[in-house]
Structure 1
Amino acid sequence: MDPAFYVDPFAAGIPWYSENGQFSPQFSSGLGFNYNLQAITVPVVPQVAEVEHRVLSQDALVQTFYEGPKKHNDKDTDTINWVEKEPVQVPEAVKDRYDQAAIRIYKKKDRTAEKTFGGVTAMMVDFIHIQSLLIIDAIEPLLADVGLRPADKSKVRINRPFKELYFAYPLISALAQRQHPHTDLEIHLNVLLKVMDELLSEMSQAIIALQTKKQISYEYLWTIFPKDIIVYSRVDGQDRLYQVVEIAEINHYWGLIACQYVQFDGTIFGMARTTLCIERFPGARSISDLSVYPIGFHPDPNLEKRLAERGREVLDFQDICYREYSGVGKAEWYSDEDEDYDDPKTAKYYVTGRIIIDAFGFGKFNPDHPIIVTAIKPEESDEPHGNARHRSSSDGDSEKRRPSPEEQQSNKNEIQARRQHLLLMSPMLAGYSLKLKRWLWLSIDKVRPLSWNEDAYDHLVFPADHKSLLLSFVKNHKQSSKQIDDVIAGKGKPYKILASNIATYHDIYLGQGLIVLLSGPPGTGKTLTAEAVADKARRPLQYLHAEDLGTQASSTGNNLTKVFDLASEWNSMILLDEADAFLTKRSTGDDNRNETVSVTFTALEEFPFTSANPSVPILAARPGAIWGAE
């Protein structure tokens, strides 16, 4: 292949070669992808005499085989009969004779091409076998750089369209030029380069003709997506950057690009995987019109600056954060067939109101929708990596915990050590919508600071002494809890329960913590009272209806436990509206209802109240409806 026709896909159309065809010793993608060809070390390759026990592939020659006619007894229609010359069939003895060939080329009939005048079908190269151990040992690290790690290192197979050879061409060419003339390795590498020229020159000329116009065809789509290149895509209304982890796969319908990006899993920032798709298109298309394309083709010079700043903002959401939101949220889940967790099913919701950003809670209370990341490799960061916190999410939940303030700062320093990590940072935060009662992925661009409505408390139409008492209960609850920590687990402690709109109090022997009953007819302000007190105390409020807890006793108990666990994490208040549906007097003949009442009372009594968890359940019900509060 003439070097002048080779296009650098990493540099947005800028050739790796100068106009006079001379190879440039150093080139870069401009974004975390840099080769210094002068620094490539030539492997120590044993001479032929030292590898005589390895019989295969010592002759510096190339042998070509062709697809021949089917054998009469061959029932497998997909099996190709390879022949040495058309139409002579290659006997096994002939194939064995060419075990010494450095490279084998296999051609088959090109059924997409027009037949010749004689009615003969044209042939095309289907794959090659590199058999020279000298070549394999020398280029193995170069092929690994472009994503090829052959299982059988005694014979390397490369299939059409020879993606790995296309991307490794400048590296192999530079390696050959560094060899002493007429050495075995130099001769074998030049044989390989000659084969590569024949395989790639026609394709490369077509590619450079397209890329000079900043265009690409679907057939050659993979040539602009080499391993490790940074690509741009707009996903869910967000500008995103990803790093390609393997050369793009192109099938009849889609171009599939396996990528990675930076994501917080509640403990560490790591690399998450996804697959981006480009639908098949006819003819040539402008590269910047694709749904995914290399960042070098993006027209906005300020893109990287904006994304780096957004990445820094994400670093501030490692703890529990109470915020407001207005925009689309996305739920994700995985099917049983998706073992790699790279193709989740999704559903979108319009989210308004208050949210809680909590990536750790997302994983803890949302086990069917895990956040899967792998630890950032040491070579991907300038920070030291000699500690146990650099791990994969799959290493086990035993290591999963909320990061301390010191660990959060360490996470921040690690990500900011390389600008590329900020650029690859996901703008989606794992959080919970208090209104929808769902765990969702939320866009950081739609997150706003919380506006506390403290005026609502002042405007409550409610006796002043009752308001003051209720607020005092909530605000001072954490301080009084120190006395409760010493209470034997499971033993109740009586607390006054305030009845809203009724000038009486009720003693109910429930739990170790404060439980507030607001009783009154519909429309008398029970919900508004709970909301106003929560805002005045600056605490989240989990609002639950009876239907949120289910109708069966088993589901009611499980759902209450989940709600109380969340309240423990968030130090929130809980408003259980229509509580009389679960706390009415037991009656004969309704076993499920009686069991539901029992489960609810037990859950309230065993509510995990400690000094570290000053959550306050608030029950809203009709007057006289709660059993035990008459």
Structure 2
Amino acid sequence: MKVGLGLKLQEAWKRNFETRPSLLAPAINAATETKTLDEDVSDEGEGPFKQLAKEPQQPKDTALHVNTSLGYRDECITVDARPNNKGEYVLVKGSEAFDPRQDPKKARKPSSLLDPYCLVVTRRYNVAGMLEGIVLEIQSQEVIRIIREIVTYYPDNSFRMGDTIKCEDPPKLIYYYRHELASYAARLGNDRAATHIGFVLNFLQSHIGHEIENYEAFLAMGLVSFKHMWMIFKPGSLVYHRETDQLYFLEKGTYTETECGPVYALECHYVDYDGNKVGKVKRTLVIKAFSNQRELDMIPTIPLDKHLEPEALKERLKTRAKRFLALRGIHALHHSKKGRVMVDAKTFLRRALPGDEDLPNSHKRGIVVYEDSKCCCKVCLKETDEKPEDYDHELREITHDEMLLCSSSVLGFALGSHKWIQMQIDDLTEIHWSTDAIDRLVLDKRQKRVLSSLISSPVFTEGVDGDVIGWKGKGLVMLLHGAPGTGKTLTAESVCESLKRPLYIVSGGELGVTPQQVEKSLEEILELSKLWKAVILIDEADVFLEARSAHDIVRNNFVSVFLRRLEYFEGILMLTTNRVEEFDEAFISRIHLALNYPELEPWMRKEIWVNALKRFPADQLAIDTAADLEEISKVPLNGRIISYAVRTAKAIADEDKTKLAVNHLWDVVSVQQKFNDHLRSKRNTAV
């Protein structure tokens, strides 16, 4: 028989079982003092279950009482299963010390020993005579009916089938529902079923009562040992995982040996979304072995009922579950650490695991490993999701209880880092769009008017056909040409703010170094643009824009690939360049709007200074924007450097614990000017 825990705990149970007296007269006989069926049995003994199970009055005579109507006796029996000379296990009375290999005639058939008794304990010995394990078999139909009634969940469903219930070592089913059994017996009073429940509870007491006492004593002090993990985690209960800040439904707990040492593995499920539907997903949480006792607060996963504030936790998770359900589909949001992100589970599962297209989407979540996961063994890596066959693919309607199990995270894409990531829902907030951003652009008035009119046109924002051929001409392509820091990227950002659309920025170098790589990258990016209604900005797109020549076949291929993808593009694409002197004619014909950004003039720089300062509340500024910025605007700085200078100056003012003043701006500008002068002198020396 396979024993659930390690050898030390098994020996502790064995020692406890062999030394503790039974609590009730017909209860299980101790291994070192087994009574025969014809001997008197006393009802002496105390234990923690005496209050849980009411002791029945035993008959004065020693004769067996047979209940002929139900076909079994209101008695318990202990039998030994020992191997005979054929290697077969045979049953003998617990008091008969003999070797069936030497005296096979004394061996009994199982039915002749077990059938008449309501409770049977079988001790299994190996060839060497060593105890291998103990099995409790409940034959009382009253107890079987009650157990099947009160047990709401148990991973091994065999207790609901057949005429008996077998509990192996340790008797976990009885342990987990001991209080329910005791309460049921108390309601029954002196009923025959109460007597049988008393037998069962006293077997538990005589078998592992000492371990239960130790566990409960430490638990009262907020401590638990690794060998008692199985006692604290009841299958069918909710467990709280601190790392994910999430509740899981516990299906089963097992002690397991791994490459990283022994662990207690909690097989659970929770509710998640795969981009198509909401469903149950399995996950295994692990608790690594530890010595002595450990505070519950130090255990990575605990039962919900051991949480300090279980009700407050449940209310918070219900509120978050509503957001989880609302975030199905595609959403542009702000992440507290990653900036702007796209929530899109379906595309995540398709793009993040390109080699697993054959798997259903809901199964691919398993590749997400939390950052503080240190262990790399197979069991610990299962702290993600299980394999495909273990998934329940759909929940047609989320129940009240399942709301508690909703995932604490969603899947998506970080627009800033270009990474597919898992995001905690609590880190996500709505984006506050600056719909007047275009008005603040430092552009020629006519340029600004054309830009504003173009992006608000339904021809481009709603996909109205612009070409007689099916899908051609639906995209909006803009070219932004000018020196660095003149406002090209800011223009793209302002367009997105006005349209309330996400901005996906990619540099020309990120697309690849071969025409094949570029074509694949463009296909993926332009597809995302359509899917997310995103504006795509390809920065430094010079290689795609320069005129083709007969001497550079590779660059010609780049341009051809780019033009082919633009032909059927739907969405808004913006390209920046500052080096192209001769544009390819085929590309020029596909541009809807081209904006040139000249070097900034003083009045332009002044507007940029003013706009940069508006980011801070007025009560944090000591600057008269009408007059104080006149002189500093004459310094030839580009827009990007001005923006950085304002941020740096604000940091200096905060350090000084004063309002931001012009002198703070001049301090930063002076440092920048010295650096610029140094660069110019280096260039002149090189020449």
- Please give the range of the TM-score, normalised by the shorter of the 2 chains: 0.5 to 0.7
Counterpart among 575, 580, 583 of residue 619 in structure 1: 575
1:597 to 559, 566, 575: 559
* 1:321 equivalent in alignment to 2:302: no
Letter of the 2:443 counterpart: F
Q: Secondary structure in 1 aligned to 2:513?
A: coil
Aligned to 2:43: none
Match of residue 310, structure 1, among 313, 320, 325: 320
Q: CA deviation at 1:560?
A: 1.7
Instruction: From the superposition, tell whether residues 565 and 584 of structure 1 become closer, same or farther in structure 2 (CA, over 3 Å).
Output: same
Note if contact 1:520-1:623 (Cα within 8 Å) is conserved in structure 2: no
Question: Residue 452 of structure 1 corresponds to which residue in structure 2?
Answer: 433
Compute the displacement of 1:223 (Å): 0.6
Given candidates 194, 204, 219, the residue that maps to 1:211 is 219
RMSD: 4.7
Deviations 1:52-97 (A, max 9, x none): xxxxx999744223689xx9x99xxxx9999987672547876662
- Among 294, 299, 309, the alignment partner of 1:285 is 294
Query: SS at the partner of 1:533?
Result: helix
Aligned partner of 1:462 among 443, 450, 456? 443
Matched, 1:294 2:273: no
Alignment check: 8 A CA contact 1:261 1:272 kept: yes
Q: Distance in 1 between matches of 2:304 and 2:497?
A: 45
Partner Cα separation in structure 2 for residue 512 and residue 313 of structure 1: 35
* Structure 2 equivalent of residue 198 of structure 1: 206
Aligned to 1:256: 265
Which whole-Å deviations, capped at 9, do the CAs of 1:416-450 have from their partners, x for residues lacking one?
Answer: x52x4443333212222111112211122222332
Q: CA-to-partner distance for each residue in 1:277-308, whole Å, 9 max, x for gaps? A: 22222222333442222222322363333333
1:356 aligned to which of 342, 345, 363: 342
Check whether the contact 2:409–2:422 (CA below 8 A) recurs between aligned residues. yes
Describe the superposition over 1:456-492 as per-residue Cα deviations: whole angstroms up to 9, x where unpaired: 53343322212221222222144785641784336x4
Matching of residue 64 in structure 1 with residue 64 in structure 2: no
Q: Quote the offset at 1:182 in angstroms.
A: 11
Please state which structure has a larger fraction of its residues in helix: 2
Q: What is aligned with 1:435?
A: 416
Listed one character per residue, the Cα deviations across residues 140-182 of structure 1 (whole Å, up to 9, x for unaligned) are 6767832212499588764433323322445566778999999
TM-fit CA distance, 1:616: 0.6
Residue 389 of structure 1 corresponds to: none
Distance 1:166 1:18 in 2: 11
Instruction: From 95, 99, 110, give the equivalent of 1:88.
Output: 99
Partners of 1:319 and 1:602 lie apart in 2 by 30
Cα distance in 1 for residues equivalent to 2:546 and 2:158: 70
> What is the deviation of 1:591?
5.6
Q: TM-score, normalized by length of structure 2?
A: 0.59
Structure number with larger C-alpha Rg: 2
2:501 corresponds, among 539, 542, 562, to: 539
1:21 to 31, 52, 55: 52
Q: Which runs of 5+ in 1 are unaligned?
A: 4-16, 24-45, 50-56, 110-120, 328-350, 375-391, 401-409, 493-510, 610-614
- How far is 1:219 from its partner? 1.0
Counterpart position of 1:97: 109
Matched, 1:247 2:253: yes
Check 1:467–1:243 CA distance in 2 against 1; reply closer, same or farther (3 A cut): same
Seen in structure 2, the aligned counterparts of structure 1 residues 623 and 605 have a Cα distance that, compared at 3 Å, is: same
Kept in 1, the 8 Å contact 2:464–2:474? The answer is no
Do 2:152 and 2:236's aligned partners in 1 also have CA atoms closer than 8 Å?
Answer: no
CA contact (8 A) 1:543 1:576 kept: yes
Q: Does 1:160 align with 2:169?
A: yes
Q: How far 1:599 sits from its partner (Å)?
A: 2.6
SS in 2 for 1:257: strand
How far apart are residue 366 of structure 1 and its match? Answer: 4.0
- Stretches of structure 2 lacking an aligned partner (at least 5 in a row): 1-21, 25-47, 55-68, 115-119, 366-385, 589-687
The structure 2 residue matched to 1:563, chosen from 525, 531, 540, is 525
Q: Verify the 8 A CA contact 2:296 2:302 in the aligned structure 1.
A: yes
Cα distance change of structure 1 residues 242 and 93 upon mapping to structure 2, 3 Å threshold: farther
Q: How does 1:20-59 map to 2 (within 5 A)?
A: 20-21=51-52
Structure 1 contact 521–623 (Cα < 8 Å) conserved: no
- The amino acid across from 2:213 in the alignment is Q
Name the SS of the counterpart of 2:285 in structure 1: strand
The equivalent of 2:614 in structure 1 is none
TM-score of the pair, normalised by structure 1: 0.64
Mapping for residues 137-152 of structure 1, pairs under 5 Å = 138=145, 145-150=153-158
The one-letter code sitting in structure 1 at the alignment partner of 2:210 is E
Say whether the 8 Å CA contact 2:82–2:89 is kept in structure 1.
no
Pair 1:565–1:394, CA change in 2 (3 A): farther
**Larger mean Cα displacement after TM superposition, 203-212 or 533-542:** 203-212
Q: Residue in 1 aligned with 2:282?
A: 273
Alignment correspondent of 2:652:
none
Q: Residue 612 of structure 1 corresponds to which residue in structure 2?
A: none
Question: 1:88-110 deviations in whole A, cap 9, x for unaligned?
Answer: 2547876662355444623458x
Counterpart amino acid of residue 627 in structure 1: D
Q: Which residue of the other structure, out of 225, 228, 231, is the alignment partner of 1:223?
A: 231
Kindly tell me: are residues 80 and 515 of structure 1, through their superposed partners in 2, closer, same or farther at Cα, counting changes over 3 Å?
A: farther
For 1:244, what is the secondary structure of its paired residue?
A: strand
- Closer, same or farther in 2 for the Cα pair 1:22/1:93, shift >3 Å? closer
Which residue is equivalent to 1:234? 242
Deviation string 1:205-235 (CA, Å, 9 cap, x unpaired) is: 3333333334322111111101121222321
Q: Is the 8 A contact 1:326 1:447 kept in 2?
A: yes
Partner of 1:527: 489
Count of residue correspondences:
486
Aligned counterparts, 1:496-507, within 5 A: none
